[in-house]
Amino acid sequence: HPPSFQMGESSGLRPANCRAKGGAPGFKVAILGAAGGIGQPLALLMKINPLVSVLHLYDVVNTPGVTADISHMDTGAVVRGFLGPQQLENALAGMDLVIIPAGVPRKPGMTRDDLFNINAGIVRTLCEGIAKSCPNAIVNLISNPVNSTVPIAAEVFKKAGTYDPKRLLGVTMLDVVRANTFVAEVLGLDPREVDVPVVGGHSGVTILPLLSQVKPPCSFTPKEIDYLTDRIQNGGTEVVEAKAGTGSATLSMAYAAVKFADACLRGLRGDSGIVECSFVASQVTELPFFASKVRLGRTGAEEIYPLGPLNEYERAGLEKAKKELATSIQKGVSFIRK
Ligand code: NAD
Ligand code: LMR
């Protein structure tokens, strides 16, 4: 295998035993798709995360430049770059957490499911690499369509004999981030004070904000509920249209991905009471996967919380969400089983 290019580790000018011990204690994190629209700001934000000691940046293009650039930041994490499939194994070896934003984004007029044909194969290949090189890592899967790519990953891991449902987490954090922002706008609050559970999945009607469970407790008019539900469900499309063919959400996504990854790392560290929404293997509904609040701990998603009391509007939304989710999940499963 060609060697990876390593940066931020040591200059090599002094013998190892003469150097002060560099590098922060912490976790080893790999980003797959690190040179992309999400990958680059995500790499930047993970480089400043004090819980990260080693940051591996993998992509099929442009990682030398991104790695050289990020590695000059004077933060603790050591950065190493990996380019192309021959370096995937080295990129993944020993990782505690793998974040996957690899794959094509939407253009106006497309649904997330329109990305399936390209992204399903990318996710399969990357997850085969994970099964081989770091089967115990926590996986944060961002690539769309999340409602299908998470079942694909699960099937790949099952086939490899490494599947642990607690360690496979579909990232739906951006839906929560958007919901917090839009609800705060309506209520005239600071978004940092607002917590909106968003359950179901990550596409259109499968994105189900539970506005009856907003914290701090509040009530909405029927008009506000329609406005908020529609805006939260179509937040991704709002960005895709504004970007007019140049891609989908990248900056807010990188922020959301880091918020979620940081929660996973705090869970791994043993912090208590870490709860976030995620699309995971679940028994909360009759579907095999569903997004809801999960408690993150040393072994991943250690507890999956039930949905709590839903009002009539949310119960109707749940039925619609389940119908679409069932099809998307099945599509992912059959992609690997066929
Ligand atoms: P992008 O095209 O800017 O970047 C994708 C990167 O993936 C590119 O650098 C590309 O080279 C890389 N890539 C392609 N094939 C690869 C492979 N086999 N191995 C490793 N890397 C590979 O796209 P983006 O805007 O960063 O979006 C990436 C994905 O994230 C899309 O599928 C998008 O729909 C999804 N997304 C998900 C959410 C979410 O909430 N879960 C939010 C936004 C975007
Ligand atoms: C999002 O919600 O922004 C992402 O899923 C990207 C998209 O295609 O909308």
* pLDDT (0 to 100) of residue 2: 46
Burial 124-138 (b: 16+ CB within 10 A, else e): bebbbbbbebbeebb
The two three-digit tokens of residue 304, written as one number: 């999956």
Cα separations (Å) of 117 from 104, 113, 123?
A: 10, 8, 11
Which ligand neighbours the alpha carbon of 247 most closely? Answer: 1
Beta bridge partners of 275: 295
* pLDDT (0 to 100) of residue 300: 98
Going by alpha carbons, the residue nearest to atom 44 of ligand 1 is 249
Confirm or reject: Cβ of 170 under 6 Å from ligand 2: no
Spatial contact of 29 and 95, defined as CB atoms under 8 Å apart? yes
Going by alpha carbons, the residue nearest to atom 9 of ligand 1 is 36
Confirm or reject: Cβ of 38 under 6 Å from ligand 2: no
Confirm or reject: Cβ of 198 under 6 Å from ligand 2: no
Torsion sign (Cα): 43, 47, 51, 56: positive
Q: Which residues carry a binding-site annotation for NAD(+)?
A: 33-39, 59, 119, 142-144, 253
Rg, Å, the chain Cα set: 20
Distance from residue 156's CA to the centre of ligand 2 (Å): 24
Q: Which residues carry a binding-site annotation?
A: 33-39, 59, 106, 112, 119, 142-144, 178, 253
Burial class (CB in 10 A: 0-12, 13-18, 19+), 63: buried
What is the CB-side half-sphere exposure of residue 148 using CA atoms within 13 A? 26
Query: Which of 89, 238, 253 is the best mutation target for the ligand 1 pocket, counting ligand atoms within 8 Å of the beta carbon and taking the most?
Result: 253
Distance from residue 68's CA to the centre of ligand 1 (Å): 21
| Cβ < 6 A, ligand 1 pocket | 32-33, 35-39, 59-61, 101-106, 115, 119, 122, 125-126, 142-144, 146, 171, 174, 202, 247-250, 253
Residue 56 designated active-site: no
Burial class (CB in 10 A: 0-12, 13-18, 19+), 217: exposed
pTM of the model: 0.97
* pLDDT (0 to 100) of residue 158: 98
The amino acid present at 232, given as its one-letter code, is: I
Confirm or reject: Cβ of 231 under 6 Å from ligand 2: no
Long-range contacts of 20-25 (CB under 8 A, 24+ apart): 22/78, 23/53, 23/54, 23/76, 23/77, 23/78, 24/50, 24/52, 24/53, 24/76, 24/77, 25/53
Ranges of residues in the chain whose predicted pLDDT is under 70: 1-10, 16-25
* pLDDT (0 to 100) of residue 1: 40
